[in-house]
Amino acid sequence: MFDTISAIILAGGRSSRMGTDKALLPLPDKPDITFVEHLASLLASTCHEVLLVARDPIQAADYAPVKSPNVRLLTDETPNIGPLMGLYSGLKAIHPSSTHALLVAVDMPFVQPTLISYLLAQPHNDALLIPLVDQVPQVLLAVYPRVTLPHIEARLREGRRDLRSLLTVCPVRYIEEAQLRTVDPHLRSFVNINTPEEFDLRSSE
């Protein structure tokens, strides 16, 4: 258990390409467990707490049945802004003893425990800890320090909604793909499910 690191699950998207709330999809290999239930349980076993960030109270009501130790349900301070608002809302709400938060998008159900442990075991300072896959920053599965909050507030005031906008204003430590493959050889942790076709494909694997 990492006592100074909270986990934030971003679940506030509209799932427009999927046509139904991705958080409530069944896990392909465990159809009695939803994406959000699986991630909440997984993260609660390693992080100080888990904050499940929904878009608004209506969406949050759908997640109320999620029962797992140390899970808190909250909503975006301002709905319909995007993932940057989700991170902001979560970081503001983490426990006072937490200095960092591991961010995970709810549509990434194959996050490997070994990858989580690897990220949490890295030295943590004021820099964002961002994995790289195919040289693309994986901002939806990364570690963000609480001290990033002023930068997020500034980006939101500028009308930005995207997490990648932080990469130009914050110190960043990147983790190269070769390092990631030592703990997650097939990089399954970074697979996200956005469409019915992607869900069907992963369900048949």
Q: Which residue has the higher pLDDT, 21 or 2?
A: 21
Half-sphere exposure (Cβ direction) of 193: Cα atoms closer than 13 Å: 30
5-203: CATH architecture: Alpha-Beta Complex (3.90)
Distance CA 164, CA 182 (A): 25
Q: Which token pair is 50?
A: 């888990």
Q: Which residue has the higher pLDDT, 143 or 198?
A: 143
Distance CA 158, CA 156 (A): 5
**Where do the structural domains in the chain lie, given as residue ranges?**
5-203
pLDDT at 158 > cutoff 60? yes
5-10 vs 100-105, strand pairing mode: parallel
110 pLDDT tier (thresholds 50, 70, 90): very high
pLDDT for 198:
76
pLDDT for 204:
53
pLDDT for 1:
61
Summarised one tens digit per residue, pLDDT across range 22-44 is: 889 999 888 899 999 999 999 99
Phi and psi at 194, nearest 5°, equal: -115, -25
Q: Which token pair is 165?
A: 């906008």
pLDDT at 60 > cutoff 70? yes
Distance CA 99, CA 123 (A): 12
16 pLDDT tier (thresholds 50, 70, 90): low
Question: Which 3-state string (H, E, C) describes 75-98?
Answer: ECCCCCCCHHHHHHHHHHHCCCCC
Amino acid identity at 15: S
Half-sphere exposure (Cβ direction) of 124: Cα atoms closer than 13 Å: 21
